[in-house]
Structure 1
Amino acid sequence: MPDASDKKSSNLNHITTLFFDVNETLLDIQPLKAVISKTLDNRQELADLWFISLLHHSLVDTASGGWHTFAEIGNAVLNMLAAQHNIQMSDDAPSIAEALSQLPPHADVIPALSALQQQGFKLVALTNSSRALADKQLNHAGIMHFFDAVLSVESIKTYKPDLKVYCWATEQMDVPRENTLMIAAHSWDVGGAKRAGMHTAFIARKGQTLSPLLPEPDLVCSDLNDLAASLGPTKVNEMQN
């Protein structure tokens, strides 16, 4: 499996546009899990289960023909877990949207985005968050100015890793999928993007692993600084000349 210590493979030489997952890839969700844990009787294991269940129910919602925002599904899952474990939630518990909107960036994010921008890549945020929530998240984290576009699945009402999302996103940016790189800390996200025809980079955040059932990513990086180093100094303008 390729990793960032390898020389950049030739099939990445024509990458012009980088698509970034937001939650957990760019933003640290540990403060959110702390809020969830506190709301659920200080049970950390339920906070971890909440995030897994959030992803599960987002896919169930769209696969069954429904649509709710990420925050709405998150609140529903929170109430379900409380009911399942006989936990009485306090009335002053923060909303999921509020907690999501205040997540900090991982320490590597700002220097890596700056380096990638200077290298000449076009940067795009592609998120399961609603557009309004994504704007709040990126502004609060101080990284909105790095992005040429922010794309939310809310526009097409289906969640990643539905292949439709990646096809739609690349069409929105008017870029061939072979010239794109999807970057995420979730195996299911890079797996979906790979099957849709994008190149992919997996960011091995703590606790994240690759699925043996999904296509291997083009790059496996320890963090975003590792990714920036692996992509090298090639400029988009030079690639297009």
Structure 2
Amino acid sequence: MENIKLCVFDAYGTLFDINSVTQKYCEELGDITEPFSNLWRSKQLEYSWLRSLMNKYEDFWCVTGEALEYTLDYFNIQDEILKSKLLKAYENVNCYEEVPKVLSILKEKKILTAILSNASPNMLNKAVENSKINQYIDHIFSADSIKIYKPYPSVYNLVSKKYNVAKDEILFVSCNTWDVAGAKSFGFNVFWINRFNGKKEALPFKADMEAKSLIGVSKVFELR
């Protein structure tokens, strides 16, 4: 960790609480709020990977809409107003409560900070603005710039191309185990934010560190 010059964060689930989207409409969704949120997220990821494999790229906003269509149909919900509200809420997603504090600590320690996400630039910009963390983020990388999604290696390489730092000087932070594997396979140091007591993937690409929230990341840097 003494060599780290740049800390790169995944967006959704890591900095931004995607469950906050459906929680805003828990009255409309009722008992299915949690499974609805989980299915929407899993289909969102699945469709991004399928589109990459099929070489049929559409940006993440389109993929998010397609995943929502599937989820609404799965739960037999035919409500265009609710659909519109859910998509609008995605544009106003909230960050986790510890995020501003953690990012401010990194800035105090002179660590460069960036976001690397599959989300479209517009989605990321709105999420950053809504969470009021603009002043803490040095750069935002979107997979949209090369029209393919993580964990494709070229997406992680966007960071290496931008900054003149070695891979072992970069710390990648994500809550997603598939993203952890992808970043580690690429050669980054990786910190897994295991918010929900998940299990490690049965792959040979493991995180170097693990914590239950981003506080774990800031604690490491506070020791420097």
**TM-score, normalized by length of structure 2?**
0.91
Instruction: Flag the 1:81–1:181 CA change in 2: closer, same or farther, 3 A.
Output: same
Please tell me whether residue 23 in structure 1 is matched to residue 12 in structure 2: yes
Tell me how far 1:128 sits from its aligned partner: 1.3
Given the alignment of the two structures, is residue 195 of structure 1 paired with residue 185 of structure 2, yes or no?
yes
Match of residue 223, structure 1, among 191, 195, 213: 213
* Mapping of residues 1-241 of structure 1, within 5 Å: 12-34=1-23, 43-44=32-33, 45-91=35-81, 93-94=83-84, 97-206=87-196, 208-234=198-224
Q: Which runs of 5+ in 1 are unaligned?
A: 1-11, 235-241
Residue range with higher mean Cα deviation, 145-154 or 25-34: 25-34
Match of 1:3 in 2: none
The amino acid that maps onto 1:81 is T
- CA shift digits 1:209-240 (9 cap, x unpaired): 42132511111022112211123343xxxxxx
For 1:96-126, what per-residue CA distance to the aligned partner results, in whole angstroms no more than 9, with x for missing partners? 5522221111111111111111111000011
Percent identity between matched residues is 23
Q: Quick check: 1:33–1:48 contact (8 Å CA) kept in 2?
A: no
Shift of 1:33: 2.8
Does the CA-based 8 Å contact 1:185-1:208 persist in structure 2? no
SS of the equivalent of 1:229 reads helix
Q: Which amino acid aligns with 1:187?
A: T
Aligned equivalents of 2:82 and 2:184: distance in 1? 42
Mind listing any 5+ residue stretches in structure 2 that lack a counterpart? none
Normalising by structure 1, report the TM-score: 0.85
**Equivalents in 2 of 1:101, 1:166: separation in Å?**
24
Give RMSD over aligned pairs.
Answer: 2.0
Retained in 1: the 8 A contact 2:19–2:37? Answer: no
Structure 2 CA distance for partners of 1:84 and 1:27, relative to 1, 3 Å: closer
